[in-house]
Homo-oligomer: A and B are copies of this chain.
Amino acid sequence: MENKKLYNVAVVGVTGAVGQKMLETLERRDFPVGELRPLASARSAGQQITFKGKAYTVQEATPEAFEGIDFALFSAGGSISEKLAPAAVERGAVVIDNTSAFRMLPEVPLVVPEVNAHMISQHRGIIANPNCSTIQMVVALKPIHDAYGIERIIVSTYQAVSGSGQAAIDELREQTRAVLDGKPAEPKVLPVKSLPKHHQIAFNAIPQIDVFEENGFTKEEMKMVNETRKIFGTDEIQVTPTCVRVPVFFGHSESVFIETKKPFDLAEVRSLLESAPGVTVVDDLPEQAYPMAIDSAGHFDTYVGRIRRDLFHPRGLNMWIVSDNVLKGAALNAVQIAEHMVRSK
């Protein structure tokens, strides 16, 4: 009988939408958890959470709370990560950080295991989890990039409110009911809670995710540009993103147009996608089968459909990419990184 090594795991931001999915994912994938340490802000400390049927009391995330921890999964906002990740690393933990705090630092690997698992070993204590909208796109584009090279990507997203956390999930539910009942929508969370203006998400589409930068793109859009290039390890890929919030609870959808460097064969593209890790092709037009957000919710894979050759550009390819943004887009990807490290230990 195998004497399985166990790892002590801290989840920071454990009461949030992603934190909860991290627990669920550790459990569903039977990650070898020794001690689980559920951490959150002082405000949430004392709450009860459940892991593998056992109740835990949430502790305050302090530097000392990381003593004896092997893996610290952070998803409590960038400022918490900036403050506490170094403390966790000092105490010997490997930090897998879901915020954008460290993603673009040259010394921090930005990892999607299906794409660039080889970068994990170069970490100096912190490994960054990319942005949700980036992760699912690069999972689907990886086999195509390997085979033909990708020159440019033009992507429009249809992003679920869960990407903005539990408050946005609650807002969509309550606001939708209010609008159906003929009451005022009273937006308070979306598109960006900390900004002065809020817009109705119920029965609407909001073309703003995160704050605007000087160039007219949002921070979310610039993440798709910069993270995609860092993950693929090349500054040659041109990315043109438009990120849009839609009234969907779980599952980001993406309309993706790419131009490859080398000519491709469409049947080969399909077959490459069918055998790509983490990808499920759902593309049977006579059966009206294509990926949809509601079907992706709760699942680990990235779903690809509407795969079609462009009508005009000889190396143009269109597809529709859908994944559960809180799973592959956040919690699952973080757990997969930890799994890779466990396997290579």
Query: Does A344 have its Cβ within 8 Å of any Cβ on chain B?
Result: no
A66 part of interface (Cβ distance < 8 Å) = no
Those of A306-321 within 8 Å (CB) of chain B: 306-313, 316, 318, 320
Q: Does A293 touch B at the CB level, under 8 Å? A: yes
Q: Nearest chain B CB to A271's CB is how many angstroms away?
A: 16
Please tell me if A8 contacts chain B, counting CB pairs below 8 Å: no
What is the minimal beta-carbon distance from A310 to any residue of chain B, in angstroms?
6
A154 to B312, CA, bound (A): 11
Which chain B residue shows the least CB distance to A191? B288
Question: Would you call B246 and A158 a contact (CB within 8 A)?
Answer: yes
With A215-B308, A292-B199: A244-B253 Cβ-Cβ less than 8 Å: yes
A6 within 8 A of B: no
Copies in the complex: 2
**B311:A204 contact, CB within 8 angstroms:** no
Chain A 286-317 interface residues, beta-carbon cutoff 8 Å to B: 286-288, 290-294, 305-313, 316
User: Do B311 and A240 touch (CB < 8 A)?
Assistant: yes
A207 located at the interface, meaning its Cβ lies under 8 Å from any Cβ of chain B in the complex: yes
Residue of B205, B216, B288, B307 near A285 (CB, 8 A) is: B216
B253 pairs with A308, CB closer than 8 A = no
A238–B306 Cα gap in the complex (Å)? 19
Q: Which A67-122 residues sit within 8 Å CB-CB of chain B?
A: none
Q: A207-B290, A306-B207 are in contact. Are A154 and B152 (CB under 8 A)?
A: no
**Bound Cα distance A299, B244 (Å):** 22
The reply to whether B206 and A292 form a contact with Cβ atoms under 8 Å apart is yes
Say if the beta carbon of A136 comes within 8 Å of chain B: no
- Once the chains bind, are A216 and B309 in contact (CB under 8 Å)? yes
In the complex, residue of chain B having the shortest beta-carbon distance to the beta carbon of A287: B197
Please list 13 pairs of residues, one from A and one from B, whose beta carbons are closer than 8 Å in the complex, sorted by A's number.
A156-B242, A158-B158, A158-B246, A176-B180, A199-B288, A203-B247, A204-B248, A215-B309, A216-B318, A240-B310, A240-B311, A240-B318, A247-B247
Top 5 closest A-B pairs, CB basis?
A216-B308, A156-B156, A238-B312, A156-B255, A242-B255
